[in-house]
Structure 1
Amino acid sequence: MTQPTGKLTEEKVFKDPVHRYIHVRDKLIWDLIGTSEFQRLRRIRQLGTTYLTFHGAEHSRFNHSLGVYEIVRRIVDDVFRGRAEWNEEERMLVLCAALLHDLGHGPFSHSFEKVFHLDHEDFTRAIILGDTEVNKVLSKVGKDFPKNVAEVIAKTYPNKQVVSLISSQIDADRMDYLQRDAYYTGVSYGHFDMERILRVMRPREDQVVIKQSGMHAVEDYIMSRYQMYWQVYFHPVTRSAEVILTKILHRAKQLHQEYYTFKQEPTHFYSIFEDELSLKDYLKLDESVILFYFQAWQEESDPVLSDLCNRFMNRNLFKYVEFHPTNEQMMKLMELTSLFKKAGIDPDYYLVVDSSSDLPYDFYRPGEEEERLPIHLLKTNGDLRELSRESEIVDAISGKRRTDHKLYFPLDLLENMSSKKAVKKKILELLHIHK
């Protein structure tokens, strides 16, 4: 009988469209994959509502987690092994952290978190440290092992070199999701030469660095990330679906607080609505559960909940116009809000400003809320040089935050208004829609 930290008698292999094969040789990893908490990730999409924009984006957090594990396995087994700066004793720790880094994600991930003020990282920690199957598997290694895994994921583990493999500006997490998301959405932006990057990675005392000869592969990676954010992750149609999703959840919570009688009682939501969400209740939530309620709530007597659910389930999304939060535009938004009320359309649910923002690369700025470890190049003489000091391409986008604002609204409701034609005309004029 092999020990939990021992090798499997026979290697297990997952076929994967991005990495071709994902290799599992350690019993500990195989046991973690088999836990109910990890299997739950099969029922949570990696890209939330993006499947309503790019129809192939049906891949799951399960796919991605295996991919991150495989990249880290290749780094520590093929690139770092035998190098003086790498401690082989950290191998299982970093492999487990790579596999479990997204364990706490909820259905539709960030949209769900935003509505209910949750943090998936808190739940990842709770699953690893709580009374769970994952914790039982990890605890077989040692009493402190679950805590160490949680610290690596939380970026508080003392060995920053280990942390940087999972979370930095060039980590296994980003390298997997860029390629995987590009593959499943069918776009070309997320492709870069990962094989080259892995070959030029080197361990250093407190970080992972890149040999100078690999700079152009890293430039390509950073530009791929930049393009993926603006062409895929911040796609305005995906954001329209997210707006509707969040408004459904807000509406359901409001109706519950007003003692509305649901035809389909929101049983799975009670503990969230009452701010008493336990880990056990959280783990029962996945996207199949959420979609069951959205399907059922199309028949509710509340017109707002019914309409929003119908829109989400049948992809009748909100339209959008560019919005810039200047004084003039904010005055226009106030006027639109008043006109929506006159038209009998609740602006709280049907007139929404959504903003997306990204910082593609930044160098180290101590003391900031989110300190970013920079990418360092290892020069031939052994010196380290921060990437943007060597690369004109990276220097051009370093520290530059780009933000995009859109105003979302239901054009079909406005166009179908048979009464209040003057109000309708004024709204469409303000939205620059001329009929």
Structure 2
Amino acid sequence: MSIPYKEQLLTIEKVFRDPVHDYIHVQHQVILDLINAKEFQRLRRIKQLGTTSFTFHGGEHSRFGHSLGVYEITRRICDLFRRNYSIEDDPDNGWDDSERLVALCAALLHDVGHGPYSHTFEGIFNTNHEEFTMMIITSPETEVFQILNQVEAGFPEKVASVIRKDYPNPQVVQMISSQIDADRMDYLLRDAYFTGTEYGTFDLTRILRVIRPYKEGITFSTNGMHAVEDYIVSRYQMYMQIYFHPVSRAMEVILDHLLKRGTFLYQEDPHYYEGHSRLLIPFFENAYTLEDYLKLDDGVLNTYFTVWADDKDQILSDLAARFLNRRPFKSARFQPGEDDTLITEMTQLIERVGFNPTFYTAVNTSYDLPYDFYRPDQKHHRTQIELIEKDGSLIELSKASDLVAALAGQTHGDERFFFPKEMIQNDRTNLFSDEFTEFSRYIHNGALRRP
């Protein structure tokens, strides 16, 4: 009698050597088949950190490695729950290990819909990586769907519902998506490792010792509160020091404007792009399919940018060269409302010396909420972190931790005005040296000011 596909285990487990988790263990045939699916293999060709590698050169790792890492943390949590908190021992709050496979598949596939330079690409072409993730999982033409559908009828939709956060078991959902989940824990450790920084490091081993299931999701023992605090602070530091770094954001601005310029020029001469940038045409026309989307990755865009660097359009070629050769815009912090007039005056100076402000200036906002608690007046809220006492009572994290309370509910970040570096190089021999001098007077200690 053959073993059902969902229960098939590898004769010898497959391992992936990993710099963050040492080994990633694969025991289910389903998981190995998903890893080998072409839609998942595509993630090898998409950077996890996008333009951050222009600032931290080690940050070249892929979404493939991150997805394996999220799977591995989820696998370890499932093992811990089965061993220590099974539903047989605690029918009200325990872990039902029959949920393991759907949790592992959701963890592995949670980012499968990311596109090239994902967030910048999404902003230009109105794509949504979460929607594409759902499509890849639930569309019959994908290898991912065909594998999941062998598990049982309706299984692809089960996996999609976990990522969509409407799966009926909150333990599974919060394991993959909450304020302290397998996704965040892996990307903090992985991004810290590859960027060569210490900000994102925290005690994963300790967190996995104190994580517990309960009927409404995931909680943590109070004696592990300091490990959770460490995680919150690490996340805050990574956003402030790594993810929101001005140079990385400057390169995002150039990438954004480069794609916008390509779109603008396509409207003027659609046939020009058929010979060298054909895969982007469906996106220029806003008429793309899932098949079109899956053909794109970072390498495809970089190849097109190399061609564009020799384009006859000076703006397109210049922006492509700036992106490929790492020539970021400069930036200065500003206060919204207070400094709007300054930005207008600076933009006029930029235009006066010959830069098109549409493609050579930008306002970029980067803010993050390190931790939040439940707010009943808000339509969309985060799942707050709960600590569990020995008697089974729960306490929300910021009520137990003064450190977290100091960060809770407060957004952190800044707003920046981006402009060509040439505006502050003070080239006195240039025809527009007066404009350059005037422009430089608007900036003091990295922020805008009235001259």
Asked if Structure 1 and Structure 2 have the same fold, meaning a TM-score greater than 0.5 normalized by the shorter chain, the answer is: yes
Alignment partner of 1:43 is 2:54? no
Letter in 1 for 2:307: A
Letter in 2 for 1:308: L
- Note the 1:163-312 alignment, pairs <5 A: 163-259=173-269, 261=272, 265-312=276-323
Alignment partner of 1:26 is 2:28? yes
The 8 Å contact of residues 263 and 300 in structure 1, kept in 2 or not, is answered as no
Q: Post-superposition shift, 1:195? A: 0.6
Separation (CA, whole Å) in 2 of partners of 1:35 and 1:266:
26
Letter in 2 for 1:389: K
Q: Post-superposition shift, 1:432? A: 4.7
The 8 Å contact of residues 337 and 347 in structure 1, kept in 2 or not, is answered as yes
Per the alignment, residue 350 of structure 1 pairs with: 360
Letter in 1 for 2:415: H
Give 3-state SS (helix, strand or coil) of 1:136's partner. Answer: helix
Alignment partner of 1:385 is 2:395? yes
Higher mean displacement: 358-367 or 132-141: 358-367
C-alpha RMSD over aligned residues: 1.7
Higher mean displacement: 313-322 or 10-19: 313-322
Per the alignment, residue 159 of structure 2 pairs with: 149
Q: Which runs of 4+ in 1 moved over 3 A?
A: 79-82, 260-265, 413-417, 431-434
- Note the 1:326-345 alignment, pairs <5 A: 326-327=337-338, 329-345=339-355
Separation (CA, whole Å) in 2 of partners of 1:411 and 1:433:
16
Per the alignment, residue 129 of structure 2 pairs with: 120
The 8 Å contact of residues 213 and 219 in structure 2, kept in 1 or not, is answered as yes
Separation (CA, whole Å) in 2 of partners of 1:77 and 1:397:
32
Q: Post-superposition shift, 1:336? A: 1.6
Per the alignment, residue 105 of structure 2 pairs with: 96
Q: Post-superposition shift, 1:160? A: 1.3
The 8 Å contact of residues 81 and 95 in structure 2, kept in 1 or not, is answered as no
Letter in 2 for 1:16: D
Unaligned runs of 5+ residues in structure 1 are none
The 8 Å contact of residues 263 and 284 in structure 2, kept in 1 or not, is answered as yes
Separation (CA, whole Å) in 2 of partners of 1:117 and 1:371:
24
Q: Post-superposition shift, 1:224? A: 0.4
Q: Post-superposition shift, 1:335? A: 1.3
Per the alignment, residue 83 of structure 1 pairs with: 86
Give 3-state SS (helix, strand or coil) of 1:408's partner. Answer: strand
Per the alignment, residue 411 of structure 1 pairs with: 421
Q: Post-superposition shift, 1:325? A: 1.3
Letter in 2 for 1:424: F
Q: What is the CA deviation profile of residues 201-249 of structure 1, one whole-angstrom value per residue up to 9, with x for unaligned ones?
A: 1111121110111001000010000001011111111101111111100
The 8 Å contact of residues 79 and 198 in structure 1, kept in 2 or not, is answered as no
Give 3-state SS (helix, strand or coil) of 1:400's partner. Answer: coil
Q: Post-superposition shift, 1:421? A: 3.2
Per the alignment, residue 68 of structure 1 pairs with: 70
Separation (CA, whole Å) in 1 of partners of 2:293 and 2:389:
48
Separation (CA, whole Å) in 1 of partners of 2:224 and 2:127:
39
Unaligned runs of 5+ residues in structure 2 are 88-93, 447-451
Letter in 2 for 1:237: V
Alignment partner of 1:4 is 2:5? yes
The 8 Å contact of residues 81 and 213 in structure 2, kept in 1 or not, is answered as no
Give 3-state SS (helix, strand or coil) of 1:368's partner. Answer: coil
Q: What is the CA deviation profile of residues 60-116 of structure 1, one whole-angstrom value per residue up to 9, with x for unaligned ones?
A: 000000000000001102334451211111110000000000000001111111111
The 8 Å contact of residues 423 and 436 in structure 2, kept in 1 or not, is answered as no
Letter in 1 for 2:266: H
Q: What is the CA deviation profile of residues 136-175 of structure 1, one whole-angstrom value per residue up to 9, with x for unaligned ones?
A: 0000011110001000001111211110000001100011
Q: What is the CA deviation profile of residues 37-64 of structure 1, one whole-angstrom value per residue up to 9, with x for unaligned ones?
A: 0000000001001111001001100000
The 8 Å contact of residues 136 and 144 in structure 2, kept in 1 or not, is answered as yes
Separation (CA, whole Å) in 1 of partners of 2:29 and 2:274:
47
The 8 Å contact of residues 2 and 27 in structure 1, kept in 2 or not, is answered as no
Task: Give TM-score, length-normalised by structure 1.
Answer: 0.96
Q: Post-superposition shift, 1:368? A: 2.8
Letter in 2 for 1:282: Y
Letter in 1 for 2:285: E
Separation (CA, whole Å) in 1 of partners of 2:137 and 2:377:
28
The 8 Å contact of residues 248 and 309 in structure 1, kept in 2 or not, is answered as yes
The 8 Å contact of residues 273 and 281 in structure 2, kept in 1 or not, is answered as no
Separation (CA, whole Å) in 1 of partners of 2:331 and 2:408:
30
Letter in 2 for 1:422: D
**Count of matched residue pairs:** 433
Separation (CA, whole Å) in 2 of partners of 1:270 and 1:366:
45
Separation (CA, whole Å) in 2 of partners of 1:226 and 1:75:
24
The 8 Å contact of residues 40 and 64 in structure 2, kept in 1 or not, is answered as yes
Separation (CA, whole Å) in 1 of partners of 2:436 and 2:28:
65
Separation (CA, whole Å) in 1 of partners of 2:376 and 2:154:
30
Separation (CA, whole Å) in 1 of partners of 2:168 and 2:445:
56
From 416, 423, 426, give the equivalent of 2:435.
423
The 8 Å contact of residues 362 and 418 in structure 2, kept in 1 or not, is answered as yes
The 8 Å contact of residues 181 and 190 in structure 1, kept in 2 or not, is answered as yes
Letter in 1 for 2:104: L
Separation (CA, whole Å) in 2 of partners of 1:118 and 1:43:
18
Return closer, same or farther for 1:194/1:293 CA change in 2, 3 Å cut-off. Answer: same
Letter in 1 for 2:261: R
Give 3-state SS (helix, strand or coil) of 1:14's partner. Answer: strand
Separation (CA, whole Å) in 2 of partners of 1:287 and 1:21:
27
Give 3-state SS (helix, strand or coil) of 1:165's partner. Answer: helix
The 8 Å contact of residues 56 and 186 in structure 1, kept in 2 or not, is answered as yes
Letter in 1 for 2:441: E
The 8 Å contact of residues 210 and 377 in structure 1, kept in 2 or not, is answered as yes
The 8 Å contact of residues 113 and 133 in structure 2, kept in 1 or not, is answered as yes
Separation (CA, whole Å) in 1 of partners of 2:241 and 2:24:
28
Give 3-state SS (helix, strand or coil) of 1:51's partner. Answer: helix
